[in-house]
Amino acid sequence: MPVLVDGEAVVYESAIINEYLEEKYPAVPLMPEDPFKRSRARIWIDYCNTRVQRAGGNIAHDYQVEKSKEELSQYLETLDREMRDREYIAGDYSLADITYIPFFCRLERYQAKIGNDLPHVRAWMDRLLSRPVVRGTP
Ligand SMILES: N[C@@H](CCC(=O)N[C@@H](CS)C(=O)NCC(=O)O)C(=O)O
């Protein structure tokens, strides 16, 4: 369970931790300024956490594996359609992209493959994983 302890502040839930850090350190903005674009970023953050990571977590924890694999492949197909004409999922690089990085780093754990059948997700994943800060994270 991800928990951030920042002095007296104890923050949990990964999406809430990310927003806490975004608000605390505004010098590097990682959410769009425009309210509609912010809502798109939040939609894809929610999609990752309530669908992609939920299905992946089920698979990793040996719960409803076949059903979850089927769901996960549908979610990835949806993402592939979304990413067809995009470099990042919600405009510029944002917390929405960052939310998917742990999933892409742990594909084996989720018994998932991002192959040639998902070319747009694959290109997006490669783009994210090749960022220096991601490559430098153990
Ligand atoms: N919604 C929580 C999820 C916390 C969490 O890490 N859940 C575990 C189960 S305790 C999980 O299934 N993670 C996926 C995995 O095991 O790879 C968050 O985003 O902070």
pLDDT in tens, 75-98: 999 999 999 999 999 999 999 999
Pick the CATH number of 33-135 from 3.40.190.10, 1.10.1040.10, 1.10.10.10, 1.20.1050.10: 1.20.1050.10
Going by alpha carbons, the residue nearest to atom 15 of ligand 1 is 57
CA distance between the termini of the chain: 18
| pLDDT value of position 2 | 93
- Output the CA 67–ligand 1 centroid distance in Å: 18
Give the model's confidence band at 118: pLDDT under 50 very low, under 70 low, under 90 confident, else very high: very high
Q: What gap in Å lies between CA 58 and CA 53, rounded to an integer?
A: 8
CB 95 within 8 Å of CB 28: no
The tens digit of pLDDT for each residue in 45-71 reads: 999 999 999 999 999 999 999 999 999
Average pLDDT of the residues in 106-118: 97
Domain ranges of the chain: 1-30, 33-135
Residue 59 tokens read as: 């698979």
Rounded average pLDDT over 21-41: 96
Give residue 120's pLDDT band: very low, low, confident or very high (50, 70, 90). Answer: very high
* Distance in Å, CA 85 to ligand 1 centroid: 30
- The closest-lying atom of ligand 1 relative to the alpha carbon of residue 106 is 17
Considering the entire predicted model, what is its pTM?
A: 0.95
